[in-house]
Amino acid sequence: MAVSAEDPNLFDPFGIGNATNEWCCLLKAAQEMRDSDQEMMETLMEPDGPDPVTLSPESAAKLRSIAKLMRSLDLDPVAVRTRHPEAMRQLEAACLGCQNRSRCARALWAGTAADTYRDFCPNAVRLDQLRNA
């Protein structure tokens, strides 16, 4: 007996495998959001961090992006802020003025930012300097 494309998967007739995969993706996204929120709170609580009163939601998202990019490059944003506060301010200022937010967000989401940031990031030179320091 031939199985048509319209028949359910014989090994997973109730679609449990697909549902489990979708659930895992949702959990991963929720974890990333929680980590980003925690990191943003830590950044805002630092004495030399940006002023939380003047930070718009878009600006906050951009600052989360630079921190996430730094972590993908094995740079600790908190350590950089502590050891090189002026460099961190320059990174944040360039990130806040960046016009490539969507490309950056896509690369961070896809996990390719560490390989492609030099193509679009205004902080590429500064980040490379910090990585080589």
Domain ranges of the chain: 16-132
With 0-12 / 13-18 / 19 or more C-beta atoms within 10 angstroms meaning exposed / middle / buried, residue 36 is middle
Question: Hey, is 90 helix, strand or coil?
Answer: helix
pTM of the predicted model as reported, rounded to 2 decimal places: 0.57
- Cβ count near 70 (within 10 Å): 21
* DSSP, res 119: G
Mean pLDDT of 63-77: 89
Please report the pLDDT score of residue 93 as a whole number. 87
Given pLDDT bands bounded at 50, 70 and 90, which one contains residue 3? very low
User: What is the C-alpha to C-alpha distance for residues 52 and 34, in angstroms, rounded to an integer?
Assistant: 18
Query: Is 60 exceeded by the pLDDT of residue 10?
Result: yes
Please report the pLDDT score of residue 97 as a whole number. 86
Better-scored residue on pLDDT, 11 or 119: 119
Percent of the chain with pLDDT over 90: 25
Mean pLDDT of 10-38: 76
User: What is the C-alpha to C-alpha distance for residues 120 and 127, in angstroms, rounded to an integer?
Assistant: 13
Better-scored residue on pLDDT, 93 or 31: 93
